[in-house]
Amino acid sequence: MAASGSVIELRKSRVRAAAMQLEVAVKCVAACVQQVNGPELGELLIQIREAGIDPLEAAFATGVRRFDKSGEYAADGALSVTAWLKWKCKLSGGAAAERVEIGKQLERLPKTEEAFARGDLGYQHVAVIARTAENVGAAAVRTEERNFLKAAQSMDPGQFTTVAKNFEHRVDAAGALAEANRAYHRRYLHVGDPQDGIVRIDGLLDAEGGATVRAALTTQMKPIKDDDRTHGQRFADALVEFCRQGSGGKRDSSGPRPHLIIRASLDALAGIPGAPAGELEGGGTVPSETVQRHACDSALIRMTGRTELEHERNQASRTLRASTRRALEARDRRCVWPGCGRPAVWCDGHHLVWWTRGGESSLPNLALLCRPHHRQVHEGGWSLERRKEQWLVQPPGEIPVRVHARRE
């Protein structure tokens, strides 16, 4: 039965009143965030989640469920409540679908719904419970609901997911296997083409693949002394390093040899202004400084623009002989950069007087440098020199400040 005009007006004024009160509360909290400090600020942040965001998410989920059942979203022309949420509430497809699912499952999980509304359960924990209910049925989750709520109090969402997945496996091993197989089936990795010097990588792995990658990269991402790289940067460096070491090149005494081919003119190698960039075989360009770093030791560089004879001569002189590399590793043992110490297998043989400037590939002119520090010298403009038995580094335009005794 259609509501009368006065009933509709009453509802509209209730929505307006609720929205105004919400606005006042949000303004009060936003002002408070600017004014308090220390432990009080911490307490406020906790309250924002427990008394604000989580109970509001609970109310939102209930509202979404009722709105879905009413079919009212169709009045705006949306084909589903998820589509309506994306459009009107500015949520991503995943975020919208998650809230719809939470709304559905909470109807069958009253204890969880109550705890969520009270602010005793965080949104992400509720999302985990809802996913589990979706996978094994709300009835099965209800038998374990009390334990779930207890576990959620003391665990972060990641730990809590493990508890939920264990439960799913206990009550529905075949379902858990099917989910693992679905996850495995969805795996992919995309390495984009370079754009503005950036290559975007994205992908999905199943849990085992993800854990394998994380474990492998973690071994290579320990921070070094005075490391100012972010966690994400260390992760990225570890990935590149791992691929460099495993790229099918020889891991003999001359170090790993990745199949990285750069086409460069001699002008680029010499760093002459106006020289074209180096071209990576497989796409993308790199600046002269990067060409010079690779010329120092590792990559294959195909020269263009001058005579083959010159190419051959240069190619021969810059590549470290295995015996020279062995002697270099025996002397330096690891990256010589102050405080670094990455092992020799991660290092290039850097020419102190650059090979591109006529430096020789002989021991007195060489130093082991890990790739990030080798990059710091060539692309970063730092200088490295040995005075007596010590290694000195200095940033571009500064006096040497850090001294490092050579490890013997």
Binding site for Zn ion (CB under 5 A): 296, 335, 337, 340, 342, 350, 370, 373
Quote the tokens at residue 336: 């010589």
The minimum distance between CB 376 and Zn ion, in angstroms, equals 8
Nearer to Zn ion, 130 or 377 (CB): 377
Nearer to Zn ion, 131 or 334 (CB): 334
Nearer to Zn ion, 73 or 337 (CB): 337
DSSP string, 322-343: HHHHHHHHHHH-B--STT---B
Tally Cβ neighbours within 10 Å of residue 75. 9
The minimum distance between CB 356 and Zn ion, in angstroms, equals 9
Nearer to Zn ion, 105 or 314 (CB): 314
The minimum distance between CB 350 and Zn ion, in angstroms, equals 3
Nearer to Zn ion, 132 or 254 (CB): 254
Nearer to Zn ion, 86 or 371 (CB): 371
Angle at 175 between CA 169 and CA 179, to 5 degrees: 95
The minimum distance between CB 276 and Zn ion, in angstroms, equals 21
Cα 274 to Cα 98: distance, rounded to the nearest angstrom = 54
The minimum distance between CB 305 and Zn ion, in angstroms, equals 22
Quote the tokens at residue 340: 């670094």
Quote the tokens at residue 99: 């809230």
The minimum distance between CB 375 and Zn ion, in angstroms, equals 9
Own/partner contacts of 53-60, CB < 8 Å, gap of 24 or more, are 53/123, 54/116, 54/119, 54/121, 54/122, 54/123, 55/116, 55/117, 55/118, 55/119, 57/99, 57/116, 57/123, 57/126, 58/106, 58/113, 58/116, 58/117, 58/126, 59/117, 60/99
Cα 387 to Cα 400: distance, rounded to the nearest angstrom = 11
The minimum distance between CB 328 and Zn ion, in angstroms, equals 13
Nearer to Zn ion, 85 or 335 (CB): 335
Cα 97 to Cα 130: distance, rounded to the nearest angstrom = 12
Quote the tokens at residue 230: 């972010």
Cα 84 to Cα 271: distance, rounded to the nearest angstrom = 57
